[in-house]
Amino acid sequence: MNRGTLGATGEVGKGRSILRLGKVLLSCLALAVTASADAATIQNVTAQQRPGTKIVDIQYDLVGGPSETIGVQGFYSLDGGSDGFPHRMETVQGDIGGGVSTGTAKQVVWFADSDAPDLAVDNAQVMLCEGLKIEPATGTVIEGADRPLAVTYQGAPYTSSLVWTVNGIEGGNSTVGTVQAGAPGTWVYTAPLLDDATTSLEVVLTAEEPGSETGLWGNARLRVARKAVAISRGVSFLNALEAPPGNVDSAFSRLVSYLNALEPSDKFQASRVVSYENQ
């Protein structure tokens, strides 16, 4: 992965930009961006350290088509970049990961105190660059169901091997779900069956090149929802997402209340399998 290096003039190669800060904790905070002419690019990068903390707020614009997304990843160096940016920015929030859509004022918060407690050096640098794009990057999957994950890099399917973790567990397990290779450029997440006490489960799926902390990576965040149960009595069917009639028993009323509390993106799946029949 070509990241570029800081030159004497503070510039890097074509398609990349550098940002310098003043004498603060990260006094030479540099953000180098890889880009190509036909892909979304990171522009107008600014960054600021929160006073008295090791928290860094990064803002940038992702310029491209209205429906375009790319993966964005970050790395940092403790010696001005000469070590090749060997450390991944792990503790981050915001517009970073496996699916960032185009737009202005994208926000990234980096908690440097968690990733690098000894980062109080004058020549530290961080870098943002294009990473793996995972589709879907967010969404809902019903328990026990499969969700294909398409992985691309710079617009092309990524067909090399990847190491996947699910909520930090390599390969996943029966509690958080598993990921297995599918067709070239595609992996498949199989959602777990939820126990009786769990109505939904949030999972973070991370894919990375094996054997290197500085390789490509990306992530996706999915919500595992409980499968709705069909209820039938008699011959007349009602949509479970509508207000139930007065003679609906308490068990069904509780089910309808649960379904109405689902996110809109979940309701279309639930409504296909839940019904009620009057006696």
Residue 180 bridge partners (DSSP): 188
pLDDT at 228: 74
Helix axes 264-271, 250-260, angle to 10 degrees: 140
Which amino acid, residue 194?
L
Query: CA geometry: angle at 59 spanning 58 and 62, to 5°?
Result: 130
Residue 29 has pLDDT above 50, yes or no: no
Q: What is the pLDDT of residue 24?
A: 36
36 residue type, one letter: S
DSSP H helices, the chain, are 112-115, 250-260, 264-271
pLDDT of 120 reads 55
Question: What is the CATH architecture of 134-225?
Answer: Sandwich (2.60)
The string of pLDDT tens digits covering residues 104-153 is 999 999 998 898 877 655 667 778 888 899 999 999 999 999 999 999 99
**Phi, psi dihedrals of residue 207, rounded to the nearest 5°:** -115, 135
Per-residue model confidence as pLDDT tens digits over 35-51:
333 468 888 878 788 88
pLDDT in tens, 67-99: 788 899 888 887 777 887 888 888 999 999 888
Per-residue model confidence as pLDDT tens digits over 161-197: 999 999 999 999 999 999 999 999 999 999 999 998 8
Q: pLDDT of 204-261, one tens digit each?
A: 999 999 876 678 889 999 999 998 765 554 433 344 444 444 544 555 665 666 666 6
- Model-level pTM greater than 0.85? no
pLDDT of residue 140: 96
- What does the alpha-carbon distance between residue 32 and residue 128 come to, in Å, rounded to a whole number? 6
Give the CA dihedral 229, 233, 239, 241, nearest 10 degrees: -50
**What's the average model confidence in pLDDT over 261-278?**
48
Q: What angle do CA 177, 226, 138 make, to 5 degrees?
A: 60
> Is the confidence at residue 157, as pLDDT, over 90?
yes
